[in-house]
Amino acid sequence: MMRDGYALQLRSFANGEGPLIVLVHGSGWNGLQFTGLAPQLSGTVLVPDLRGHGALPERRGDVDYIGQFEDDLADLITARAAEGQKVVLIGHSSGGGLVLRFAGGRHRQLMDGAVLLAPFLHHNAPTMRPNSGGWAQPLLRRIIGLSMLNGFGITTWNHLTAIQFNMPTEVLEGPLGHLATTSYSYRLNQSYAPRSDYVSDIKSLPEFLLLVGAQDEAFVAEAYQPLIEGETAKGTYRILDETGHLDLVDAPETRKAIREFIGGI
C-alpha cells in the first residue's frame, strides 16, 4: 500500500538469500516484461506494475504529480527491505531512466546498487535515436509549453497527453492488449525519466552495471560509456552482440552479468 492508499500491483519472488531487488519495467507495458528474468535472480525480487500501468492502473497513463513514481518505489522498499538488506534497482529503457531519477532524488539513500538496461537518459542525450527509433511520438510543442508553465509553478495542465507510443498491432489485438498503455500525461512522462539536468542524476548513481544491445533500435549503444564514465567512475559497461532493445531483458548474457554484479555488492 502506497502513502496515498493506492494498492500497487506487485509480483513477488522469494529466491533465497540475497538483496532486495526491484525490477522496473519500460514504457507502455508492465511487470510481465520480467516474467523470465525475475525467477532467475537470487534474493527477494519485487516486480511492480508502475502506477498508471497494467491490469489495475487507477488512471491509465497518468499519475497525481511529478515524482510520484519515486515515492512509490521508496514506499515499496521501506515496506519490504529487511534490516541490513542491500537494495538493488533494475530498470529497462524508461525504467532505467526512472532508476536514474531515483538515484538523483531525495530517496537515493535507499538504493545500494543499480542495473541499467538500455536506459533512457534524455531526449537530447547522445544516446538517443530519433523518436526512440520510431517507438515514441513526443508532443514537443505541448511538452515545451508545459515545461515553461511548470517553471513558474503552474501545474494545472500537467494531466494533458505529452507522448504517444506506436504499440505493435499484434500486441494491441493480442490476448494481453488490454494491458498496454499507449500514451502518457505530462506528469507521468516527467516522472518516468531523469531530470532535465540528467548529468546530475548520473553523478548520484551508486555502483551500477549498464547493459545495452549492439543492435538496440532505440538508443546508440556505443554512446553510453563515453558519456557516463566522464561523470562517474562507479559503472561497469557491457554491449551485448546481436541483441536488440527488447531482446536485452531475456538474453542469457544479461542474466549472467546481473548475477555477477549483484554478487559483488
pLDDT digits (tens, 9 = 90+) for 42-53: 999 999 999 999
Given this model, what pLDDT does residue 172 score? 87
Which 3 state secondary structure label does DSSP give 92?
Answer: strand
**Lowest-confidence pick of 85-99, 168-182, 214-228:** 168-182
For residue 26, give the C-alpha cell.
519500460
Percent of all residues in the chain with a pLDDT value above 70, rounded to a whole number: 100
Predicted confidence (pLDDT) at residue 176 exceeds the cutoff of 80: yes
Predicted confidence (pLDDT) at residue 156 exceeds the cutoff of 80: yes
Cβ partners under 8 Å of residue 84, min gap 6: none
CA distance 254 to 235: 16
Nearest to 68 by CA among 148, 151, 126, 155: 155
Q: What stretches of 136-206 adopt beta strand conformation (E)?
A: 136-138, 161-165, 183-185
Given this model, what pLDDT does residue 252 score? 96
Produce one character per residue of 11-43: b if its CB has 16 or more CB atoms within 10 Å, e if not.
bebeeeebbbbbbbbbbbbbbbbbeebbebbeb
Given this model, what pLDDT does residue 133 score? 73
Contact 11, 47 (CB under 8 A): yes
Given this model, what pLDDT does residue 15 score? 86
Q: Which residue has the cell 538504493?
A: 111
Q: Mind listing the pLDDT tens digit for each residue in 34-44?
A: 999 999 999 99
Predicted confidence (pLDDT) at residue 170 exceeds the cutoff of 90: no
For residue 79, name the pLDDT band (cuts at 50, 70, 90).
Answer: very high
Given this model, what pLDDT does residue 195 score? 95
Percent of all residues in the chain with a pLDDT value above 90, rounded to a whole number: 89
Average pLDDT, integer, range 218-240? 97
Mean pLDDT of the chain: 95
Q: Mind listing the pLDDT tens digit for each residue in 87-145?
A: 999 999 999 999 999 999 999 999 999 999 999 999 899 999 876 777 788 999 999 99
